[in-house]
Amino acid sequence: MLFGKHVNKFYIKYGLFFLIGIAALVVVDYFQLEIPNVIGNIIDGLDQKTITTDKLKVYILQLLGIAGIMFAGRFAWRLCIFGNGIKIECDLRNDLFNAMEKQSQKFFGENKTGALMALYTNDLNQIRQCFGGGTIMLVDSLFLGIFTLIRMFQLNWMLTIISLVTITITIVFAQFFEKRITKATDANFEAYERLSDFVQEDLSGISVVKAFTKEKLQVRRFQKYNQDNVDTCLNMVKESARFDAIIMSVIDTLFILTIVYSAVLIYRHSIGEDIAFTIGDLTKFLAYFDTLIWPIDAFGRLFQIRGKGKASLGRITKILENEIEVNDNLVTEKTKDIKELKGLIEYKGLTFNYPGVSEACLKDVNFTINPGEFVGIIGATGSGKTTIVDLLLRVYNVEEGKVFIDGYDIMQLPLATVRDNIAYVPQDNFLFSDTVANNIAFSENEEVDNDKVEATAKLADVYKDVAAFNDKLNTVMGERGVTVSGGQKQRISIARALYKDGNILVLDDSLSAVDTETEKAIIHNLRENRKGKTTIIIAHRISTLQHLDKILVVEDGTVTGIGTHEELLLTNKAYANEARLQELEAEVGEKRER
């Protein structure tokens, strides 16, 4: 069994079932030891020719009664104790997933997906075994061992003392090997995490692997990770095998000593010495000894399981206790009940560094976006455009007094309020392996509104494409949306944001994979259907932004220009140069087409 801050609560939550299971197990342990007693009496009766038919019937009925009690008891303790192990695994998995959902972007940048997935498989499985099999081994080794030793002591105290020596040796070796097994388990799980992470990345990026014809290289790398996993697993098995071998050697030695000593006692009894040790007693003692082997073995295995469980619980505890950096700690009484935001956005002298990076990504950023405005953001790759909107979504913490929505400091607004009011289309346009309709209606908390799904698909100019699919809106897409084109993926992502219908809409370079005609249609639809709502569009093409209410020019983390397309052509050199360059590229493209 395991103890710790995050598992102690389960002893209270499932305490009644644990007690029922333990009680049933103790009853089984007690009656299990009646079987050798009854059989020994039968053997003595036959040897001494004192048994009668009626006595034999009574003994048989006793054996049948014991079998019935043991059947019911074993069913009860398996249901309660193993069942508790499964329930605890389920609860802990929920706690783990809930903790991960609250982590910041920094956390997922520092921890690989494959390593995190390993926690849900190997580690939780080890903890389940601790609460299930570990509990049974603890109770069995304790109660069955004590009951057996009492019966053995009643038969012969000397042989019982020899057995106690065996148990003492087992305890000493168990404590020594627990540390070794824990260390070996840690190494194995780390190797498994690396293997899982490699497989996850390889399968997610299989199109890139094939495009660069790196299949053979990836196979060799997989074989290396796989061999590391095998080696560490074998090392873990070797530690367990060494312990098992030592314990079984001690048990076998004790068995030989028991046989020899018992033979001497029976011989002395047979020649008339005053020693009450019959063949029936030997049968009982050997049966008790055979029964005692399991508590001794279980006690040793308990330390093995506990060692593995402690290693797993340590890894899971790190996640459960990891500080949640982006939180609602600064929410005030004034802002805690705010549910709706109108869309007034203000950045006041914001300077921002990514965690662990000394150089500022954004430097003294100042601008205001009024409710209902259509605003564009343009700038070179890496200039800080995405960072500006990430901070608006509270992906990272910002300094107080730098970013405001509707006049409220964003650090004092509830996270749920901020994110519920912002519909966001990220650069990677992630789609789930689900139907098109469910992807579009991802923000829906109730039943999917099919009419709304269709309407938003039309606004995003993707409905005609989806209508050509075999199952239309019910078409199931492949993992991460690999079965649709880049342009279709972008437009489905836009439809998903439009379905949410937030008062603030952010499109982060979400029109780059569509042609200019489709782009114009989408922007026209946004203009018509989002009147009075704030819309921010990040783009590289000036043609995407030139008709918006306002454009922000971002250079090297600083906003160097704010105005309409016409104003920026006159006042911002970088914008004017980019506009001329894109016009030339467009003219060259038209000539080539001719």
- 279 has pLDDT over 80: no
pLDDT of residue 536: 94
Q: Which residues contact 95 (CB under 8 A, 6 or more apart)?
A: 6, 320
Instruction: Check whether residue 416 and residue 521 sit in a common domain.
Output: yes
Q: Looking at the domain assignment, is residue 328 inside a domain?
A: no
Residue range 539-575, pLDDT digits in tens: 888 888 888 999 999 999 999 999 999 999 999 998 9
pLDDT of residue 264: 75
CA distance 317 to 312: 9
- 184 has pLDDT over 90: no
Instruction: Check whether residue 179 and residue 300 sit in a common domain.
Output: yes
DSSP per residue over 211-278, as a string? HTT-HHHHHHHHHHHHHHHHHHHHHHHHHHHHHHHHHHHHHHHHHHHHHHHHHHHHHHHHTT-S----
Instruction: Check whether residue 107 and residue 28 sit in a common domain.
Output: yes
Q: Are the C-beta atoms of 347 and 403 separated by less than 8 Å?
A: yes
Between the ranges 198-207, 407-416, 575-584, where is the mean pLDDT highest? 407-416
Residue range 70-113, pLDDT digits in tens: 899 989 988 998 888 899 989 999 999 999 888 888 888 788 77
Instruction: Check whether residue 139 and residue 271 sit in a common domain.
Output: yes
Q: Which helix (H) or strand (E) holds 195?
A: helix 157-204
List the Cα angle 392/394/396 in 5-degree steps: 115
The boundaries of the domain holding residue 193 are 8-320
Instruction: Check whether residue 88 and residue 185 sit in a common domain.
Output: yes
Region class of 581: left (phi > 0), else alpha (psi between -120 and 50), else beta: alpha
Give the residue with greater pLDDT, 253 vs 61.
61
Return the percentage of the chain with pLDDT > 70, whole number. 94
Instruction: Place 362 in a pLDDT band, splitting at 50, 70 and 90.
Output: very high
pLDDT of residue 57: 86
The candidate with the shortest Cα–Cα distance to 305, out of 125, 158, 504, is 125
The candidate with the shortest Cα–Cα distance to 135, out of 182, 85, 177, is 85
Number of folded domains that form the chain: 3
pLDDT of residue 372: 92
Instruction: Check whether residue 88 and residue 203 sit in a common domain.
Output: yes
Residue range 103-142, pLDDT digits in tens: 888 888 788 777 788 888 888 888 888 888 888 888 888 8
Instruction: Check whether residue 238 and residue 120 sit in a common domain.
Output: yes
- 194 has pLDDT over 90: no
Instruction: Check whether residue 80 and residue 34 sit in a common domain.
Output: yes
Instruction: Place 315 in a pLDDT band, splitting at 50, 70 and 90.
Output: confident
State the average pLDDT over residues 503-512: 89
User: Average per-residue pLDDT in the chain?
Assistant: 84
Query: Which domain-ending residue is among 452, 480, 501?
Result: 501
pLDDT of residue 534: 94
Residue range 256-278, pLDDT digits in tens: 777 777 777 767 766 556 565 66
Residue 176: how many CB atoms within 10 A of its CB? Answer: 13
Query: Which domain-ending residue is among 501, 519, 546?
Result: 501
Instruction: Place 48 in a pLDDT band, splitting at 50, 70 and 90.
Output: confident
CATH of the domain at 551: 3.40.50.300
Q: Looking at the domain assignment, is residue 592 inside a domain?
A: no
CA distance 138 to 84: 15
- 52 has pLDDT over 70: yes
**Residue 361, phi then psi, degrees to nearest 5:** -85, -40
- 178 has pLDDT over 80: no
Token code pair at residue 517: 């005609």
- 590 has pLDDT over 60: no
CA distance 139 to 519: 69
Residue range 449-465, pLDDT digits in tens: 888 999 999 999 988 88
| pTM, rounded to two decimals | 0.75
CA distance 84 to 57: 40
Instruction: Check whether residue 186 and residue 144 sit in a common domain.
Output: yes
pLDDT of residue 566: 92
Q: Looking at the domain assignment, is residue 573 inside a domain?
A: no
Distances (CA, A) of 15 to 53, 75, 88, 139: 47, 18, 12, 15
Query: Which domain-ending residue is among 479, 501, 523?
Result: 501
CA distance 445 to 441: 9
Q: Looking at the domain assignment, is residue 526 inside a domain?
A: yes
The candidate with the shortest Cα–Cα distance to 538, out of 508, 497, 568, is 508
pLDDT of residue 562: 94
Instruction: Check whether residue 112 and residue 167 sit in a common domain.
Output: yes
Distances (CA, A) of 282 to 18, 37, 92, 157: 36, 11, 49, 13
CA distance 37 to 405: 81
Instruction: Check whether residue 28 and residue 174 sit in a common domain.
Output: yes
Instruction: Place 211 in a pLDDT band, splitting at 50, 70 and 90.
Output: confident
Instruction: Check whether residue 115 and residue 53 sit in a common domain.
Output: yes
Query: Measured between alpha carbons, how far apart are the two ends of the chain, in Å?
Result: 78
Instruction: Place 191 in a pLDDT band, splitting at 50, 70 and 90.
Output: confident
Q: Which helix (H) or strand (E) holds 205?
A: none
pLDDT of residue 275: 61
